[in-house]
């Protein structure tokens, strides 16, 4: 690898890449930097790019006050939506990839339209539906609403994944006992593992970042996820940017870590054309 | 009886059809039904007192009339178009440029490209907050950099002239990685032999880009731009967390307006009417996309 840098062009490209990355990721760096400053330092002009001292108390104070509770809510919502969405999308995506009938196109069409629906459109009707179901101010309102809107993408994505698995692979497993279901869990799922993992990660990030449904269906602050928690936190602490950024950082860090861990797979699965 | 039931469950055809149901039921109840219900609400007078009762007077197209004849309507529609147009233009150009750059072979080009995607995994609501801080007019770091370059500070989010460009910058920043990845998936599908052939001919970079690369990834470009339009057109949390549509209406786009009508003024009839208008415009764009999607999958179904 070091040898590659001997090539002058390679070295130049590498340096340009680092510069581009530094510029692009500056906002994220600035979140980190601000989150460790004292209140006085955030207001000093010109601003220090790197904090003089790391004030960890920003984090402990924010977490103890509210952020921890909000993160717990985000986790509950994110994990449940992910399990529900991935499980249901696996079944339906598989069926859509194996049924060879003309009308299947129409069902796929419904899921494609579903992908485009704006949440702003659904929020009022869902509010009334959840009120009738007695689910307002429960996690279920956000979980069900979010699953409904996360499913279309997951179904279309997993259908493409299953299409790439030859049917001959599972036919062997049909012979013994309960054919389809057994074959599905023992043969198809292990092969589709990567695709399932990718869509799980994407669904989790999507649910973790929910804002409209949560702010509309959960009026009880103790149930709200971190995105809404941050929103009302700013309302009360608009000048305390060091704490606001500490709060911001604890929201974005989990998804950044998940993403960096799975980055190779996500990019590969994506560039393989699973998304159209 | 039991064996009959067993054979029924294990009948592979039937199982497949049963597998179809769960997601269809979920999407029908929590996406399709709300969509239709939203149409229904938009032709009724729905206020906070009638929202949760069944007794809502039918008003025909009155809600739509009050939307279209609202003195703010033209400005807000214009904002939406401006926001969408410039978002898509720059997201795409930067995304394409980044994709081309990181497609070159140099040490660590893949992991470095991966790091660029961090911007895309941050929730839009949080991105709004981050850029609100960056664009702070008194102590924001963007004004600091402007000062370093010899310009004076700008009241980014507090003046009508600059607020729109501020939310645009945040939205473009957010979507560049998404565009880059979709463009990369096009670039990797071009066989190396074509790159090599062009190199032997000594084709200059831009000639090669214009005459060879872009035509070959046309389907990817098309799909990416349509998705960009859809995402920008329905953007809400990012703007709401940055400016709440202000100052005055400077950054109010249709989704923000719909939300304000419903949840700030409790005029749900008007709010849902705006939502229907958003939906119809999106549907128009989506039909183009879906036509394309179906035709590119011919022979699969």
The model's pLDDT over A109-132, given as tens digits with 9 standing for 90+, comes to 888 888 888 899 999 999 989 999
Question: What count of other Cβ atoms lies within 10 Å of the Cβ of residue A125?
Answer: 22
More confident residue, B160 or A183: B160
Residue B198 token pair: 């062009």
> What pLDDT is stored for residue A276 in this prediction?
41
Q: CB-based contact (8 Å) between A89 and chain B?
A: yes
pLDDT band at B297 (very low <50, low <70, confident <90, very high): low
Tokens read off for B160: 């009508």
pLDDT at residue A274 tops 70: no
Residue A236 contacts B, CB cutoff 8 Å: no
State whether A45 and B139 contact (CB < 8 Å).
yes
* Residue at token pair 């003309």: A102
Between the alpha carbon of residue B102 and those of residues A67, A78, B105, B244, the distances in Å are 37, 32, 8, 36
Tokens 């799975």 map to which residue?
Answer: A262
The tokens describing B110, both together, are: 């893949």
Q: Where in the sequence of chain B do the CATH 1.10.3720.10 domains occur?
A: 85-238
Rounded Cα gap, residues B120 and A179, in angstroms: 41
What pLDDT is stored for residue B19 in this prediction? 87
pLDDT in tens, A142-193: 999 999 999 999 998 899 888 888 877 777 666 655 566 777 777 888 888 8
pLDDT in tens, B45-99: 888 777 777 778 888 888 899 989 989 999 999 999 999 999 999 999 999 999 9
Supply A14's token pair. 């590498």
Nearest CA in chain B to A265: B114
Q: Which two tokens stand for residue B101?
A: 């750059």
Question: Is the Cβ–Cβ distance between B257 and B276 less than 8 Å?
Answer: no
Residue B171: what pLDDT?
A: 97
CB contacts of B121 in chain A (<8 Å) are 205, 252, 255-256, 258-259
3-state secondary structure of B58: strand
* CA atoms of A171 and A60, how far apart (whole Å): 56
Asked if residue B187 lies in contact with residue B95, where contact means CB atoms within 8 angstroms, the answer is no
- Please tell me which residue of chain B has the smallest CA distance to A24: B116
Tell me: pLDDT of B295 over 50.
yes
Mean pLDDT of B166-181: 95
- Residues of chain A with C-beta less than 8 angstroms from the C-beta of B296: 276
Burial A238-273 (b: 16+ CB within 10 A, else e): eebbbbbbbbbbbbbebbbebbeebbeebbebbbbe
- Across the interface, of A10, A110, A180, the residue whose CB is closest to B15 is A180
The 10s digit of each residue's pLDDT in A66-75 is 889 999 999 9
Query: Between B107, B141, B282, which is nearest A10 by CB?
Result: B107
Task: Give me the mean pLDDT over the B277-288 stretch.
Answer: 88
Helices (H), B11-48: 12-27, 33-42
User: Is residue B34 over pLDDT 50?
Assistant: yes
Domains of chain A plus CATH, in order, are: 66-274 (1.10.3720.10)
Q: Do A120 and B290 touch (CB under 8 A)?
A: no
Find chain B residues with C-beta within 8 A of A175's C-beta. none
CB A231 within 8 A of CB B241: yes
Between chains, do B34 and A122 touch, taking CB under 8 Å as contact?
Answer: yes
Count of CB atoms situated within 10 Å of the CB of B205? 10
Question: Looking at the domain that runs over B85-238, which CATH code has it been given?
Answer: 1.10.3720.10
Q: In the structure, what pLDDT confidence band is assigned to residue A64 with cuts at 50, 70 and 90?
A: confident
Does A203 reach chain B within 8 Å, measured CB to CB? Answer: no
Smallest Cβ–Cβ distance between B22 and the set A92, A149, A210 belongs to A92
Residue B12 clears pLDDT 70, i.e. is over it:
no
How many angstroms away from the CA of B255 is the closest CA of chain A? 6
Spatial separation of the C-alpha atoms in residues B236 and B263, rounded to whole Å:
14
Report percent pLDDT > 90 for chain B: 53
Which among A262, A85, A55, A265 is positioned nearest to A158, based on CA atoms?
Answer: A85
Give one word for A45, left, alpha or beta, with left for phi > 0 and alpha for psi -120 to 50.
Answer: beta
Looking at every residue in chain B, the average pLDDT score rounds to 87
Residue pair A122/B276 in contact (Cβ under 8 Å)? The answer is no
């Amino acid at each position: 690898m070091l040898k590659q840098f001997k090539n002058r062009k390679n070295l130049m490209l590498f340096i340009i890449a680092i510069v581009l990355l530094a510029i692009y990721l500056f906002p994220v760096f600035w979140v980190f930097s601000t989150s460790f400053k004292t209140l006085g330092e955030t207001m000093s002009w010109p601003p220090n790019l790197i904090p003089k001292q790391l004030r960890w108390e920003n984090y402990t104070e924010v977490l103890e006050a509210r952020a921890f509770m909000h993160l717990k809510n985000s986790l509950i919502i994110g994990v449940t939506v992910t399990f529900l969405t991935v499980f249901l999308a696996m079944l339906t995506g598989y069926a859509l990839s194996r049924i060879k009938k003309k009308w299947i196109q129409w069902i796929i069409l419904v899921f494609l339209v579903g992908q485009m629906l704006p949440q702003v459109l659904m929020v009022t009707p869902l509010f009334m539906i959840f009120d009738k179901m007695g689910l307002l101010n429960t996690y279920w309102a956000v979980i069900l609403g979010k699953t409904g809107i996360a499913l279309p993408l997951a179904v279309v994505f997993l259908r493409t994944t299953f299409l790439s698995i030859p049917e001959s692979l599972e036919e062997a497993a049909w012979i013994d006992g309960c054919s389809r279901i057994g074959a599905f869990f023992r043969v198809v799922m292990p092969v589709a593992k990567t695709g399932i993992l990718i869509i799980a990660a994407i669904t989790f990030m999507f649910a973790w970042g929910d804002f409209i449904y949560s702010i509309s269906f959960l009026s009880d602050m103790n149930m709200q996820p971190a995105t809404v928690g941050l929103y009302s936190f700013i309302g009360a602490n608009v000048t305390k940017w060091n704490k606001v950024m500490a709060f911001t950082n604890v929201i974005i860090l989990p998804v950044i870590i998940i993403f960096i861990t799975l980055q190779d797979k996500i990019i590969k699965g994506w560039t393989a054309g699973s998304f159209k | 009886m039991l064996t009959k039931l067993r054979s029924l469950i294990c009948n592979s055809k039937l199982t497949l059809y049963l597998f179809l149901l769960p997601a269809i039921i979920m999407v029908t109840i929590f996406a399709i039904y709300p969509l239709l219900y939203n149409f229904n609400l938009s032709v009724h007078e729905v206020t906070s007192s009638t929202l949760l009762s069944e007794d809502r007077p039918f008003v025909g197209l009155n809600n739509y009339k009050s939307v279209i004849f609202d003195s703010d309507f033209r400005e807000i529609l214009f904002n939406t178009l401006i926001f969408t147009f410039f978002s898509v233009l720059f997201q795409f150009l930067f995304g394409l440029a980044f994709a081309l750059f990181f497609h070159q072979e140099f040490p660590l080009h893949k992991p470095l490209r991966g790091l660029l995607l961090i911007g895309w995994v941050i929730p839009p609501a949080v991105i709004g907050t981050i850029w609100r801080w960056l664009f702070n007019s008194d102590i924001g770091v963007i004004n600091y950099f402007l000062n370093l370059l010899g310009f004076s500070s700008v009241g980014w989010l507090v003046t009508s002239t600059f607020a729109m460009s501020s939310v645009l910058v945040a939205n473009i920043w957010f979507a560049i990685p998404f565009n880059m990845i979709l463009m990369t998936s096009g670039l990797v599908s071009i066989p190396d032999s074509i790159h090599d052939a062009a190199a032997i001919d000594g084709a200059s970079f831009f000639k090669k880009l214009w005459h060879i690369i872009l035509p070959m990834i046309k389907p990817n470009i098309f799909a990416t731009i349509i998705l960009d339009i859809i995402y920008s057109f329905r953007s809400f949390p990012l703007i709401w967390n940055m400016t709440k549509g202000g100052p005055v209406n400077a950054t109010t786009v249709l989704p923000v307006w719909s939300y304000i009508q419903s949840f700030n003024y409790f005029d749900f009839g008007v709010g849902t009417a705006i939502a229907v208008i958003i939906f119809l415009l999106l549907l128009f764009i989506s039909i183009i996309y879906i036509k394309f999607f179906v035709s590119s999958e011919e022979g699969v179904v």
